[in-house]
A = this chain, B = another copy of it.
């Protein structure tokens, strides 16, 4: 047969990515060089680049001058990068990921303003806005350069420094999305001052998580600084964010950045968290749900004899010390069915075999592939009565 002569053709290559997370305060003050220097460093002969700025509405309420500041800031180097049309203000929070109209209007703006692949989309806000805008940037023209300016604890230490984006689709959390690294991230710590207490606290859940699976010393640091953290000390919080972001980025860069495999240690506590977010119709913040999910998997790890009692107690008491609630009635209502479905959905989203990260100690993750639903229900009971 002649096709025998048509040998298989192999395609093999690596795609390189590189970006930096910078820490600053007052990023749009005229004297702040961070963003300007980055944009100037990227300048190429030929065309002036455009920037479409998308802003979390939650910020405009606390910083009424922010839009003017941003415009003035960009005017300072408009021979390099020009703001397009109006700054787009989008309601923040999970709702923006549920609303296909917002997605559509952003894609529309990319078209209307002629944002090309070498222009920028600058997303400023919480993790939800960053996820939505990141997804728009990733699929428009097959990828526009994305700059993230995260403004919550969670987005500065976790979601905003990583490589994922997503929106919800037909009631399924993060059903649509891509892996698409940003070109730069700027963590402006000043924005954290206006967070309400829930959002201030919620983001710390990811720091506890990453300490539990990667860095015992960091866990100790959080324990020792619990008082300052829960009483809104910005300096301590800045350190927490920096270390958490560092561990997170390290994990991405030295692991499996686009998650081709099915192991996901960074998702400790997340399978139950995702389910709880839905069951509570997102009345729980992501971090609040993660705190409960970690508490559950901590107790389960203990009840399966993986984790010493002392470690379990330290984890639960740190969560409580920081102000987290570690139980939710939705865990018990139809517990068996809901938790079973939660595991199912988690497996489906990751694909392949069920892989859940538990703990063998603080800083010692342990992967398992089966969950004993009976013991899990006992763990729920344990949390319900834990004080």
Q: Chain A residues in contact with chain B, CB under 8 A?
A: 1-3, 6-25, 44-47, 107-108, 111, 114, 116-119, 138-144, 161, 164, 166, 169-170, 172, 174-179, 181, 189, 235, 238-239, 242, 245-246, 249, 252-254, 257-259, 262, 347-353, 369
Copies in the complex: 2
Q: Is the CB of A349 within 8 A of B252?
A: no
Chain B proximity of A183: nearest CB distance (Å): 10
- A172 to B107 CA separation, bound complex (whole angstroms): 12
Nearest B residue (CB) for A188 = B3
Query: Which residues of chain B come closer than 8 Å to A178, judged between CB atoms?
Result: 138-139, 142-143, 178
Nearest B residue (CB) for A189 = B3
Query: Which residues of chain B come closer than 8 Å to A181, judged between CB atoms?
Result: 11
Q: A44-B353, A46-B353, A238-B3 are in contact. Are A258 and B15 (CB under 8 A)?
A: yes
Q: Is the CB of A20 within 8 A of B16?
A: no
Q: Is the CB of B3 within 8 A of A21?
A: no
Main secondary structure of the interface of A (DSSP, over half): mixed
Chain B proximity of A335: nearest CB distance (Å): 22
Q: Is the CB of B14 within 8 A of A20?
A: no
6 sampled A-B residue pairs with Cβ under 8 A = A10-B19, A11-B18, A47-B352, A116-B348, A117-B349, A143-B258
Q: Is the CB of B12 within 8 A of A253?
A: yes
Q: A13-B17, A140-B175, A262-B118 are in contact. Are A8 and B25 (CB under 8 A)?
A: no
Chain B proximity of A233: nearest CB distance (Å): 11
Q: Is the CB of A9 within 8 A of B164?
A: no
Chain B proximity of A212: nearest CB distance (Å): 21
Q: A3-B238, A23-B6 are in contact. Are A350 and B116 (CB under 8 A)?
A: yes
